[in-house]
Amino acid sequence: MLEALNPQPQDKILQLIAMFREDPRDTKIDLGVGVYKDPTGLTPVMRAVKAAEKKLWDSEKTKTYTALAGEPAYNAAMVGLILGDGYADRAASVATPGGTGAIRQALELIRMANPKAKVWMSNPTWPNHPSIVKYLGMPSGEYRYFDAATGGVDFAGLLADLGTVAAGDAVLLHGCCHNPTGANLDAAQWDQVIAVLQARGAIPFVDLAYQGFGDGLDADAEATRKVAAAFPEVLIAASCSKNFGVYRERTGILIALTSPDRKAVVQGNLNYLNRQNYSFPPDHGARLVTMILEDAALTAEWKSELEDVRQNMLGLRQQLADELRRATNSDRFDFVARHRGMFSRLGLTEAQVTTLREQHGIYMVGDSRINIAGLNAKTVPVLAAAIAQVL
Ligand code: LMR
């Protein structure tokens, strides 16, 4: 049987982890996978997470199963963090293994409800989006998103393409910190996107994986909140991997907003999907997140560390934009300072990306996406000089 299997292509982002590890050069720089690193190159366990783990070790009395949808306290805390108050009667939700788990469950829910629904994704998007959609055999569409010439959003193209979406189609939107481009919609543009999707009768599906990494915890949730208020049905896949730094604990949530009288049925379908795919969601990371969000002192500690993380990335963005200006004698890369989140797409060719890797030991995704947090004050000028050389 197994000899019938064909080799699978390697994931282009995850592949970089191994390539980087195997590179013996001690000057190598890892700007690949989206994992936060502090200025010393470490991905730290956040202080509030450590404190919660200690408390949990002392207080946890059982490892028996949690609820199928995850602990209600986690789901409530996450709905509050993302949407604020007022959604208890509309929000069905399940804890999931990370943000990827939430995306997978959301897509399966869409397929169960409407097998004909097309899933629209930005071009470009996180490569795992189309990969899962394809794996599930769902119809898909693309909407224009990035303007490589300016490093900003191709908003006219985006509006034109979303204007062709059919009623009942799902439109995947990055709630903040667009991956891979780093280019984001402003508030007025979100209003226009909402108006178009309302006119088309589309279902918004928001991926929120970087809340707190862009303009701040609340600011990064603003677009998602607007969408939640504007549509009767919304799917939101959120991740705690980055903002709580609990990557390997696989901590995410899928929220399905519906009408109060449909909530029980939608919740039942979410529970069913969890049961079919893995029964109970992982608990450890979710429990830590709950403990942090339910304790004022831990929340304050977490917010302050998250803010340091965000400020560090903003500082690196400005420094890189300045260094690139100097090194290339042009304003071509000024967009790096305007982008938000972990990533910026630099607009280099695949050949230039390869040269940077082979000759300079600088690792980025083939589409020239860099993880800003892979840099520090010392490596920014090194990157800028190397880019200027390969241009
Ligand atoms: C990324 O885009 O690098 C992250 O979301 C990590 C991943 O799983 O790809």
Preceding omega of 180 cis (within 30 degrees of 0): yes
Residue of 154, 202, 223, 242 marked active site? 242
Give the integer Cα–Cα distance in Å for 62 and 64.
6
Amino acid at 132: I
β-strand pairing of 152-153 with 146-147: antiparallel
Same fold, 11-45+303-390 and 65-294: no
| Coil, strand or helix at 100 | helix
Classified by CATH at the fold level, domain 65-294 comes out as Aspartate Aminotransferase; domain 2 (3.40.640)
Q: Where are the domains of the chain?
A: 11-45+303-390, 65-294
Measured torsion, CA atoms of residues 27, 28, 29, 32, in degrees rounded to the nearest 10:
-170
147 catalytic residue (yes or no): no
384 catalytic residue (yes or no): no
pLDDT under 70: residue ranges of the chain: none
Residue 369 Cα to ligand 1 midpoint, Å, equals 11
126 catalytic residue (yes or no): yes
DSSP-assigned letter for residue 25: -
Ligand 1, residues at Cβ distance < 6 Å: 13, 33-34, 126, 128, 179
337 catalytic residue (yes or no): no
Q: Does domain 11-45+303-390 have CATH number 3.90.1150.10?
A: yes
Confidence (pLDDT) at 246: 98
Residue 234 Cα to ligand 1 midpoint, Å, equals 23
Mutate to test the pocket of ligand 1, among 104, 126, 247, 368 (most ligand atoms within 8 A of CB): 126
- Residue with CA closest to ligand 1 atom 2: 34
- Residue with CA closest to ligand 1 atom 4: 34
Confidence (pLDDT) at 235: 99
327-371 pLDDT, tens per residue? Answer: 999 999 999 999 999 999 999 999 999 999 999 999 999 999 999
Confidence (pLDDT) at 244: 98
Give the integer Cα–Cα distance in Å for 211 and 78.
11
Residue 126 Cα to ligand 1 midpoint, Å, equals 8
Give the DSSP H/E element, type plus range, for residue 207.
strand 203-208
- Residue with CA closest to ligand 1 atom 6: 34
Confidence (pLDDT) at 202: 98
Residue 1 Cα to ligand 1 midpoint, Å, equals 32
Give the integer Cα–Cα distance in Å for 157 and 169.
19
Measured torsion, CA atoms of residues 233, 187, 238, 207, in degrees rounded to the nearest 10:
80
Task: Indicate whether this model's pTM tops 0.80.
Answer: yes
Whole-Å CA distances, 318 to 95, 115, 329? 36, 45, 16
Closest CA to 36 of 373, 344, 380: 373
